[in-house]
Amino acid sequence: MKLTLPAGYKPMLDPVQTERAIKMVKDFFQTNLSAEMRLRRVTAPLFVLRGTGINDDLNGTERAVNFPIKDMNDQVAEVVHSLAKWKRVTLGKLDIPSGYGLYTDMNAIRADEELSNIHSLYVDQWDWEVVMDKEQRSLRFLKQVVGRLYDVLKRTEYQIYEEYRELEPQLPENITFLHTEELLEMYPDKTPFEREMAAAEKYGAIFIIGIGGLMSNGEKHDGRAPDYDDWSTETENGNIGLNGDIVIWNPILERAFEISSMGIRVDKEALLRQLEIEKMEDRKDLLFHNMLLNDKLPLTFGGGIGQSRLCMYFLRKAHIGEVQASLWPNEMVEKCEANNIFLM
């Protein structure tokens, strides 16, 4: 059981305050995200049909919760892992112009998740996606988008502080951009997670670029499916990848804390290249992939932002179960209660 018990931990907000603060975080953040990125809210599915290629494969190893549909000849539906590809299809259907996009509340079940302070069976995040022009497919543009998103995080943190003065702002003024190759050079003797830990503690907030592709040591910093983020394109600086993660330093857990995965999405060339790299060329015949290869989908960038992760960070909670209702092992519940961590 992976469980961190911070010494001397005591919640800064009581249960009633916590529920009110959760609503404040969610309301304020999504309103500002929508305005900053020019997004309209849409309704999203909880499940999609298996075999269409629309569900997110995450790292390619997680099993999707599934069930047969009685009135559809027992076709199998899968609970979404995220909406990375569904959003792109929807943008095409709605014919949203370049520079505008959508966001939605994504709810998912990840049955293979290893439960801990920051991982739950239940996933809630804002999934967002914006239509872009071909000329914008660059690392420079990606950094601009990350900067705008980081500004929304900063504004949200200050808004919470205005209401609850004990929750003093912790985020640094600016986010630091680091490529996975740079992290490898900085910390050659550490594992990828240890590199994230060291860099997040040093800078406070980092954006790790190029997740999914091989580094110079022949390893991946972390896995990424080959059919949504573009992690194999050479950038103007020679680095590889047009995607990444926002990782901040969590002072309560004293660890790196990922709150968002995002990036510029694959075009036809990147999709074919990455399917070949991952030896998954057979996916070309799936509905989503076929649409992309036949120019039926717009070029987009987007990502996901963990709702409970944000609440956990801004409200200085030690466990994600303090800001969301889920299921936990009895042993974890008991140990948490003995250390002033009360799970919903």
Domain assignment present for 283: yes
Give the mean pLDDT of 203-225.
92
**Do residues 308 and 22 make contact, with C-beta atoms less than 8 angstroms apart?**
no
Q: Does the pLDDT value for residue 139 go beyond 70?
A: yes
What's the DSSP call for residue 119?
Answer: -
pLDDT of residue 236: 63
d(CA 11, CA 22): 14
Q: Between 228 and 62, name the one with better pLDDT.
A: 228
Catalytic residue among 30, 120, 232, 261: 261
Catalytic residue among 113, 258, 273, 283: 258
pLDDT of residue 53: 77
Catalytic annotation present for 307: no
d(CA 52, CA 46): 15
Catalytic residue among 30, 34, 56, 57: 56
Q: Does the pLDDT value for residue 59 go beyond 80?
A: no
pLDDT of residue 249: 97
pLDDT of residue 238: 61
Read off the pLDDT band of 303 (50, 70, 90).
very high
Catalytic residue among 127, 230, 245, 267: 245
Domain assignment present for 310: yes
d(CA 136, CA 213): 21
pLDDT of residue 54: 79
| Cα torsion through 87, 79, 45, 28, rounded to 10 | -80
d(CA 194, CA 216): 18
Q: Which two tokens stand for residue 79?
A: 């609970």
Q: Which two tokens stand for residue 151?
A: 């500004």
Q: Does the pLDDT value for residue 136 go beyond 60?
A: yes
Domain assignment present for 7: no
What's the DSSP call for residue 138?
Answer: S
Catalytic residue among 82, 125, 274, 308: 125
CATH number of 80's domain: 3.30.930.10
d(CA 244, CA 261): 6
Domain assignment present for 1: no
Sheet containing 75-79: order of strands: 47-49, 75-79, 66-69
Burial of 121 per CB tally in 10 Å (0-12, 13-18, 19+): middle
Q: Does the pLDDT value for residue 58 go beyond 80?
A: no
Q: Does the pLDDT value for residue 60 go beyond 60?
A: no
Q: Does the pLDDT value for residue 84 go beyond 90?
A: no
Helices (H), the chain: 15-37, 84-94, 139-163, 180-186, 192-203, 268-277, 287-293, 307-314, 330-337
Strand, helix or coil at 139? helix
Domain assignment present for 2: no
pLDDT of residue 316: 97
pLDDT of residue 258: 95
Q: Between 153 and 2, name the one with better pLDDT.
A: 153
For the ranges 79-88, 124-133, 255-264, which has the lowest average pLDDT? 79-88
Domain assignment present for 6: no
For residue 30, the one-letter residue type is Q
The pTM of the full predicted model, rounded to 2 decimals, is: 0.92
d(CA 154, CA 162): 13
Long-range contacts of 161-168 (CB under 8 A, 24+ apart): 163/21, 163/24, 164/12, 164/13, 164/17, 164/21, 166/12, 166/13, 167/12, 167/13, 167/314, 167/315, 167/316
Domain assignment present for 205: yes
Q: Does the pLDDT value for residue 155 go beyond 90?
A: yes
Domain assignment present for 9: no
69 lies in which domain range? 15-337
For the ranges 56-60, 120-124, 214-218, which has the lowest average pLDDT? 56-60
Q: Does the pLDDT value for residue 7 go beyond 70?
A: yes
Average pLDDT, the chain: 92
State the total domains in the chain: 1
Catalytic annotation present for 308: no
Catalytic residue among 82, 88, 110, 324: 110
What's the DSSP call for residue 268?
Answer: H
Q: Does the pLDDT value for residue 72 go beyond 80?
A: yes
Catalytic annotation present for 258: yes
Catalytic annotation present for 56: yes
Q: Which residue has the tokens 């199998």?
A: 76
